Structure 1
Amino acid sequence: MCESCSAADVDRPDARVSRRALIAGLGLGAAAVGMTVLTTPASAATLKNGAWCNPALGYFPSGGYYGAPRPAGPHAGQDITNSTGTAVYAAGAGTVIRRQWGGGLGGRTGNAIVISHGGGVYTYYGHLNVYRVALNQRVSSGQRIADMGATGNVTGPHLHFEVHSGGLGPTVNPVTFMTARGVDLGGGWPRIDPGASGATVKVIQHLLNQRGYGLVVDGVYGSVSVNAVKRFQSGAGLVADGQVGPATWPHLDLVLREGHVGHHVRGLQTALNKRSAGLLVDGQFGSVTTSAVRSFQSVNRLVVDGVAGSITWRALVG
C-alpha cells in the first residue's frame, strides 16, 4: 500500500478495471469527491492542441483513482500500473523543478519528478525507479524522463501521476485534465483538433502524404491540413469533422515493418522521436528504425516484434 500524496495507492495486479468503469462507477470526476476542477476560458476543443501526451502505458488499478478515500485524505493523483522499468514520459513540455524523494512535497514517498509547465500548472511523477533527466532540465512533451518503479510506500510498481493547478499544491483530476487536452490516460488514441501544432501533427501530415495529399510537413494543423483530413475522413466513410481522434486514427495508420520506404515511415520515425528515439527522419525503415521500434515496444511492455501496427501506433501518438 502506498501513502504518497497523504494517501495510499492501491496497486494489485488482479485489480484490473476498465477506464469507463473507473470514471462512471468510482467517481473519478472531481465534483463527486468534492475537489476543484481546473477551469479555463478556452473551449474544450482548443485545448486538444497536441501539446500533451500520455505519461505511461498500463492499467488503472482499483482504488488508485483521484479522490479515492484514504486515512490521511483523498488520493491526489491517478495510478497507472505496469512493471518496473516501464517508460515514463513528460506529459507536456516544461522544466524539471524537483527531482527528489516525494518531490519535496508533504505526504509523498518514493523517487519523484515535478515538471513546471507554466501558467501555474505542474505535473508530478511518483514511485520512480530510475531518473533519466536532470534537475532544471527543459523537457519536451513525450520525452522519456524516468522509469516506473515501486520506491516508497507501495505494494507494487506503478506511476503515481498528479496534476497541480494554480501553484504547486492544489491538485486537480488528472484524467479530467488530460481528457480535456485530447489525451486518454487509459491508453487510447488521442484527439487532435484544428489549430493544433507539433510532432503529432507532423505524423498526421506524413501519413496523409503517403496517400498522395502533398502537404507541407510543418507541424501546423491549419486549414490546408484540416481540409485534407476532412477529405480523407469522407473517403473513409467517417464524419468529416477535421478532428483526428479514435475514429480516424485506425484508418490513418499503416502497418509498417523493415523494408518499407515512404512518407508513412517518416511519420513513424517522427512519432518515435517524440518518444526520445533520436532517429534520422529519412523514410527508410531499416535496421536502426527496427531497433527503435523494438526498444519502444519493450520499454512500454508491448509485444516486441519490430512491426509498427495499430497497438504500437496508438502507444506512440497517445
Structure 2
Amino acid sequence: MTALATPASAATLKNAAWCNPALGYFPNGGHYGAPRPGGPHAGQDITNSTGTAVYAAAAGTVIRREWGGGLGGRTGNAIVISHGGGVYTYYGHLDTYRVSLNQSVSAGQRIADMGATGNVTGPHLHFETHSGGLGPTVNPVTFMSARGADLGGGWPRIDPDARGATVSVIQHLMNQRGSGLVVDGHYGSISVSAVKRFQSASGLVADGQVGPATWPKLIYSLNQGASGHHVRGLQVALNKRSASLLVDGGFGSVTSTAVRSFQKVNRLVVDGNAGPITWQALVG
C-alpha cells in the first residue's frame, strides 16, 4: 500500500467541471506575474505548434471574440468565456476561431487553434483566469490545480460528487471490470464505493479520488477492433473534446479516425492507439 493520504471529500472544487485548455510546455518567463514592460504577466503561457487545439476550460458563454479580448494590454486574436459567478477565462494569441460570439460552450469543447497573433515571439496560448469580475486575474496554475486540472498536461483529480462527461468515462471503465454502474455522469456513493474497492485491490490508497495514481491503472490501451465498456469510455472522452461519435462500444474506423485526429491536433504521435498519453490528454 502507498502512504496515507487525506481522503477526498464531497462537494470539493475537484468536481470535473474544469479541464486543461491546451497541451504544451511552460516557456521560460511565461509564468503568471513575470515582469513585463506594461506590468506583471497576467496569465500562463502554454507553448506548442500553430494549429494545436485550444479547448474551453469549463462550460460557459463566449462574451468576447476580438483582438486582445477587448482588454487593455493584450494583443492578438482572443476569446473570453464567462463561467458565471464572476469567473472568466481568457485565451490569447489564437490562430483560428472555432466558436462564435455569444455561443454557449461545454467544458473541453474545441474553441480555437493556438497561434502567434499579436506581440509574440512564437506560437503559444496565453491563458488567464479572472475571479471576482472580468479584470482581476489570479494565477491560472493554482486556480486550475484547485479545480483538479493540471494546466498544460497531466491526469485530473476527480472527487466524490463530481458530475459530467469525465465521470461517465470513469463509470464506463469501471463497468469494463464488472462493476455494473449506472452511467449517469454523477460520481455518487455507489460509484465512489466501486472505485475505492478498485483502488484497494490495486494497492492504492482507497480515498475515492480518481487522480494521477488511479487513472493509469484504470484505463486500457485500445486499438481498432476492440469493443466493450472501455471503448464507450474512450468515445465519451473523445466527444468531450468535440468528436461527435456514436457511443456504441465498438472501436471501428470512425472511432479510429477520431483518435488519430485528436492526436494530430494535440501534437501527439498519430498512431491510432489510445494509450496512456492519449488518455491523459483526453481526460486531463
Alignment partners' CA distance in 1, 2:31 and 2:139: 9
How far does residue 71 in structure 1 lie from its aligned partner after superposition? 1.7
The 1-side partners of 2:258 and 2:168 are apart by: 19
CA distance in 1, matches of 2:10, 2:91: 25
Structure 2's unaligned 5+ residue stretches are 1-8
Contact 2:116–2:122 (Cα < 8 Å) also in 1 = yes
Are the aligned partners of 1:143 and 1:276 in contact in 2 as well (CA < 8 Å)? yes
CA shift, 1:45, in A, is 6.7
Partner of 2:73: 107
**1:305 pairs with 2:271:** yes
Partner of 2:195: 229
- Which residue is 1:272 aligned to? 238
The answer to whether the 8 Å contact 2:11/2:162 transfers is no
User: Which of structures 1 and 2 has the larger relative contact order (alpha carbons within 8 angstroms, sep 6+)?
Assistant: 2
The amino acid of 1:296's aligned partner reads F
1:94 counterpart residue number: 60
Alpha-carbon distance, 1:44 to partner? 10
Of stretches 77-86 and 67-76 in structure 1, the one that deviates more from structure 2 is 67-76
Match of 2:20 in 1: 54
Cα distance in 1, alignment partners of residues 52 and 136 from structure 2: 28
Q: Which amino acid aligns with 2:20?
A: N
The CA distance in 2 between the partners of 1:237 and 1:96, in whole Å, is: 44
Distance in 2, Cα, partners of 1:133 & 1:77: 22
Letter in 2 for 1:184: D
- Alignment-derived partner of residue 250 in structure 2: 284
1:152 to 85, 110, 118: 118
Mapped contact 1:60–1:81 kept (Cα < 8 A): yes
Taking structure 2 as the reference length, the TM-score comes to: 0.96
Q: Aligned partner of 1:233: which letter? A: Q
Structural mapping, 1:117-128, within 5 Å? 117-128=83-94
Indicate the residue corresponding to 1:11 in structure 2: none
Whether the 8 Å CA contact 1:89–1:146 is kept in 2: the answer is: yes
Partner SS for 2:122: coil
* Aligned equivalent of 1:27: none
Indicate how the Cα distance of structure 1 residues 240 and 119 shifts in structure 2: closer, same or farther if over 3 A, else same. same
| Distance apart, 1:186 and its partner CA | 3.1
SS in 2 for 1:46: coil
Query: 1:72 offset after TM fit, Å?
Result: 1.3
Q: Which residue of 2 aligns with 1:129?
A: 95
Q: CA deviation at 1:275?
A: 0.1
| Aligned counterparts of 2:93 and 2:11: Cα–Cα separation in 1 | 33
Using structure 1 for the length normalisation, give the TM-score: 0.86
Q: Deviations over 1:174-226 (max 9, x none)?
A: 00100000000030100000010000000000000000000000000000000
Equivalent position amino acid for 1:128 in 2: L
- In structure 2, how many angstroms separate the alpha carbons of the residues matched to 1:76 and 1:172? 8
Amino acid at match of 2:170: I
Return structure 1 stretches of 4+ with deviation > 2 angstroms: none
State the match for 1:9 in structure 2.
none
- Whole-angstrom CA distance in 2 between matches of 1:53 and 1:209: 23
Shift of 1:89: 0.1
Deviation at 1:94, TM superposition (A): 0.2
CA contact (8 A) 1:44 1:181 kept: no
**Alignment partner of 2:90: what SS?**
strand
Q: Aligned pairs, how many?
A: 276
How far off is 1:70 after superposition?
Answer: 1.2
8 Å Cα contact 2:116-2:124 kept in structure 1: yes
- In angstroms, what is the RMSD of aligned CA positions? 0.9
Residue type at the aligned position of 2:263 = Q
1:247 corresponds to which residue? 213
Q: Match of 1:106, as an amino acid?
A: G
Q: How far apart in 1 are the matches of 2:243 and 2:41?
A: 34
Instruction: Give SS of 1:191's match.
Output: coil
Q: Report what 1:40 is aligned to.
A: none
Counterpart CA distance in 2 for 1:118 and 1:304 is: 37
Gaps of 5+ in 1: 1-42
**Counterpart in the other structure of 1:262:** 228
SS in 1 for 2:12: helix
- AA paired with 1:83? S
What are the superposed Cα offsets for residues 78-124 of structure 1, whole Å, 9 maximum, x if unpaired? Answer: 00000000000000000000000000011100000000000000000
Distance 1:72 1:146 in 2: 26
